[in-house]
A and B are shown apart, each in its own frame.
Chain A
Amino acid sequence: MASAPSKLYQDDVSLVVALLDTNPFFWAAASLPFSEFLHHVIPFINSLLLLNQLNRVVLIATGTSSCGYIFDSGDGNASGNSNAVCSGIIKKLEDFVGKDSKIGKGSNGDGTRPAISSLLSGSLSLALCYIQRIFRSGTRHPQPRILCLQGSPDGPEQYVAVMNSIFSAQRLMIPIDSCIVGAQHSAFLQQASYITGGVYLKPQQLDGLFQFLAAVFATDLHSRNFLRLPKPAGVDFRASCFCHKKTIDMGYVCSVCLSIFCKYHKKCSTCGSEFNQAAPDSTIPDQKH
């Protein structure tokens, strides 16, 4: 899907909102240590800022129970010495992870169920709100896109929120690119990139991460029409049911609001419409046998 042409601006200028996965449970067990990961991401951000004087980069951290803004290159103080900026980013990340784990412990009581998935829906919403603010700031703005650097597995309980964000991005014509640094594919992000026209990539070698990022994700939206970019082999379109948040292949769909359920319900929980059809249950004798 083509991206929205920005009004009266050069083709090349872009605004990249990068969502970094900071789930400590994932990074503790990952093959690439988090510091190494940052060593790839920060030069990538520098390269984005190098390509054009007017490019802007925003970093949002995706935690287990919260999300937060880490870095915005549009701030006045960000144009100083890069070492200071870099250590600023690292310090903010550490603060964020500390706060996030405190919130996680608090809501879980005594930490009975450690969360293994990160709050993708939260950071997608933060990114979309930021971009919407940019859109409203005037006629001239850069072309925005979202880059998700995700490692943790998908949490099916976030299905509805993530799909809503994806559809908002589609309406605003903001491509969502995804780069998976974890072990398994992410169905949510595959769907996100497919629907919004972004690029989905799972690099085979993580020590060359910078090269993958620079080769695939650094190009501006206009040039993407001319480049051969990686396409996923197939998109996992499985949904989660609204009642138990399990991933299902077959289920019941409300004909009014299209919510998905795994078991038969008399009334749709989202829109409240009643289902008249009699329940298919095992009391109806099967004629053949």
Chain B
Amino acid sequence: MPQVRIVARNFMDMVAALPAAKLDKLYDSSFICEAVLRSLPPLAKKYVLQMLFLDSPLTAKSMEEWVLPDGLSKHKVAIDRLLQLRVFMEVNDRKKEPSYKMNQKFQSNMQKYLTTGGTVPREPMPLNAAVRLPSVGELETYAMEQWECFLLQLINSSQVDKSTSFSSSMMRAFQRGLLNSSRDNEAPRLTENGFQFLLMETNAQLWYIIREYISSAEERGMDPTDLISFLLELSFHTLGEAYSVNTLTEVQRLAIKDLADLGLVKYLQGRKEGLFMPTKLATNLSVSLSDASSRKEGFVVVETNFRMYAYSTSRLHCEILRLFSRIEYQLPNLIVGAITKESLYNAFENGITAEQIVSFLQQNAHPRVAEKMPSVPENVTDQIRLWEADRNRVEMTPSHLYEDFPSKDLFEACCDFARDYGCLLWQDTKKMRLIVKGELHQQMRDFLRGQR
């Protein structure tokens, strides 16, 4: 079992880590308030709604009464999150009981939203006959192409037909943690985290990349707060509408080019000025990670005889499937493979868990089989988990066996010595035998010499 797992951390963690003054400035924009609200855990959303029109603070105790006893842990998580994001502020009154009040700006923005409704951040361009705008379908294919191209370049730069315009230092920043060069003259290999990254959902991968992008923004002279607010605003634009580049600030203009490379927006040249159109990847930015609507069509069919058919032409998909299955042949629109014990063992060696493989197969199930319950046959999923458990059957600890003790007292003394260090693994009092973890061996010898 891998010890380290990439936690596809939500964008909001980064927002929450901003200093208090910058966070308050962010809440000036009602879109950010909306996006933050939507990212909260469900219980926290309810608390915000309940406190929205209350002017006076509410004690923490009275809030705890809103939940049943088994909901207390979720309650704590929700309140912590609200305090972290500075949506709730702590107020200390004379009775020294903690009570919470809502952030002023957040509250007024949300009240306005509820009574007058949402608006769009900027007006779309009027339809101009001179420039042909791509349709929603074309935008999606463009976005997918760009994103795949970027991912391929990320994992293996040599395999790509056309590369994106990211500088090599940027690419290295993205690759940090995902790839490492095992030896200097060899090509970099994917790390454990890298494999897990590939099997994650597109939205989760996108968040990871954007986080890295924003973290490195300061070095390139861009204010991360501006970037964050721009990205959140982007998610409220309407899909399929073109917006003029002239309405963007300097920072945003620099960012647009990079975002176009990632596939979040499509950059066009209009008659007089540049235009940009947000794609589905961008409009789904403010939705939280595990949402289903951002999922593209699945393409994998798994049969009960462990054969796998993937209706895809993408090289990225082929690489991902190669991680845990044996690809047998590749046709113009179909990749045929089999899930075998060897290929799975290979995957487990690289740090991928059975759960990740199974959830990848389920999430990317072809529409014809996705309707069935279960979408991946149970014998396949069970077998994958069993093969993983095979590797965990035996746990090995290097240790030493001590026997032939001259006296019982010496044996007891050794047992206590080992137990004090927490290294006693097994003892047999009748035959006076002792098994101790290997790391204690040297000290045990010194102890025995001292006893004699």
Q: Which residues of A contact B46 (CB under 8 A)?
A: 215, 218-219, 223, 227
**A273 CB-CB contact with B under 8 Å:** no
CB of B293 within 8 A of CB of A54, answer yes
**B114 CB-CB contact with A under 8 Å:** yes
CB of A8 within 8 A of CB of B292, answer yes
**A115 CB-CB contact with B under 8 Å:** no
Q: In the complex, what residue of chain B is closest to A215 when comparing beta carbons?
A: B50
CB of B291 within 8 A of CB of A47, answer no
What's the Cα separation between A225 and B71 when bound, in Å? 8
Q: Which of B115-123, B140-148, B390-398, B412-420 contacts A (4 or more CB under 8 A)?
A: B115-123
CB of B42 within 8 A of CB of A219, answer yes
**B253 CB-CB contact with A under 8 Å:** no
CB of B49 within 8 A of CB of A82, answer no
CB of B291 within 8 A of CB of A81, answer no
CB of A214 within 8 A of CB of B50, answer yes
CB of B50 within 8 A of CB of A52, answer no
Question: Using a CB-CB cutoff of 8 Å, which residues 42-94 of chain B contact chain A?
Answer: 42-43, 45-46, 49-50, 52-53, 65-68, 70-71, 74-75
From B45, B71, B113, give the contact of A46 (CB < 8 A).
B113
What's the Cα separation between A220 and B38 when bound, in Å? 13
**A140 CB-CB contact with B under 8 Å:** yes
CB of A222 within 8 A of CB of B113, answer no
Question: Using a CB-CB cutoff of 8 Å, which residues 253-304 of chain B contact chain A?
Answer: 286-288, 290-293
CB of B292 within 8 A of CB of A85, answer no
**B186 CB-CB contact with A under 8 Å:** no
CB of A210 within 8 A of CB of B53, answer yes
Q: In the complex, what residue of chain B is closest to A218 when comparing beta carbons?
A: B49
What's the Cα separation between A70 and B287 when bound, in Å? 28
**A90 CB-CB contact with B under 8 Å:** no
**A12 CB-CB contact with B under 8 Å:** yes
Q: Which residues of B contact A85 (CB under 8 A)?
A: 117
What's the Cα separation between A52 and B291 when bound, in Å? 11
What's the Cα separation between A219 and B47 when bound, in Å? 10
Q: In the complex, what residue of chain B is closest to A53 when comparing beta carbons?
A: B287
What's the Cα separation between A51 and B34 when bound, in Å? 8
**A10 CB-CB contact with B under 8 Å:** yes
What's the Cα separation between A214 and B66 when bound, in Å? 13
**A58 CB-CB contact with B under 8 Å:** no
CB of A226 within 8 A of CB of B43, answer yes
Q: In the complex, what residue of chain A is closest to B33 when comparing beta carbons?
A: A50
What's the Cα separation between A8 and B295 when bound, in Å? 11
CB of A140 within 8 A of CB of B292, answer yes
Q: Which residues of A contact B68 (CB under 8 A)?
A: 225-228
What's the Cα separation between A267 and B71 when bound, in Å? 54
**How many A residues touch the partner, as a band?**
20 to 34
CB of B119 within 8 A of CB of A214, answer no
**B37 CB-CB contact with A under 8 Å:** yes
Take A81-B119, A82-B116, A226-B70 as given contacts and tell me if A53 and B38 are in contact as well, using a CB distance cutoff of 8 Å: yes
**B371 CB-CB contact with A under 8 Å:** yes
Q: In the complex, what residue of chain B is closest to A85 when comparing beta carbons?
A: B117
Q: In the complex, what residue of chain A is closest to B75 when comparing beta carbons?
A: A226
Please give the number of chain B residues whose Cβ is less than 8 angstroms from any Cβ of chain A in the complex: 37
CB of B370 within 8 A of CB of A82, answer no
CB of A9 within 8 A of CB of B49, answer no
**A173 CB-CB contact with B under 8 Å:** no
From A9, A83, A220, give the contact of B117 (CB < 8 A).
A83
**A195 CB-CB contact with B under 8 Å:** no
CB of A214 within 8 A of CB of B49, answer yes
**A43 CB-CB contact with B under 8 Å:** yes
Q: Which residues of B contact A43 (CB under 8 A)?
A: 114-115
Q: Which residues of A contact B286 (CB under 8 A)?
A: 53
Question: Using a CB-CB cutoff of 8 Å, which residues 185-237 of chain A contact chain B?
Answer: 210-211, 214-215, 218-220, 222-223, 225-228
CB of A223 within 8 A of CB of B371, answer no
Nearest Cβ on chain A to B377's Cβ, whole angstroms: 17
Q: Which residues of B contact A210 (CB under 8 A)?
A: 53
**A11 CB-CB contact with B under 8 Å:** yes
What's the Cα separation between A46 and B52 when bound, in Å? 13
**A172 CB-CB contact with B under 8 Å:** no
CB of B292 within 8 A of CB of A228, answer no
Q: Which residues of A contact B288 (CB under 8 A)?
A: 10
**A86 CB-CB contact with B under 8 Å:** yes
Q: Which residues of B contact A223 (CB under 8 A)?
A: 42-43, 46, 74
Q: Which residues of B contact A219 (CB under 8 A)?
A: 42, 46
Q: Which residues of B contact A83 (CB under 8 A)?
A: 116-117
CB of B50 within 8 A of CB of A9, answer no
From A8, A9, A50, A228, give the contact of B65 (CB < 8 A).
A228
Name the 7 nearest CB pairs between A and B, nearest first: A82-B117, A226-B71, A43-B114, A214-B49, A223-B42, A215-B50, A12-B42
A interface list, Cβ under 8 A from B: 7-12, 43, 46-47, 50-54, 81-83, 85-86, 139-140, 210-211, 214-215, 218-220, 222-223, 225-228
Question: With A10-B290, A47-B52, A51-B49 given, can you name 20 additional A-B contacts, CB distance below 8 Å?
Answer: A8-B292, A9-B292, A10-B288, A10-B292, A12-B42, A47-B49, A47-B114, A50-B38, A81-B117, A81-B119, A210-B53, A211-B53, A215-B49, A219-B46, A220-B42, A223-B42, A223-B74, A225-B71, A226-B75, A227-B43
9 contacts between A and B (CB under 8 A): A7-B373, A46-B115, A53-B38, A53-B287, A82-B118, A226-B70, A227-B67, A227-B68, A228-B67
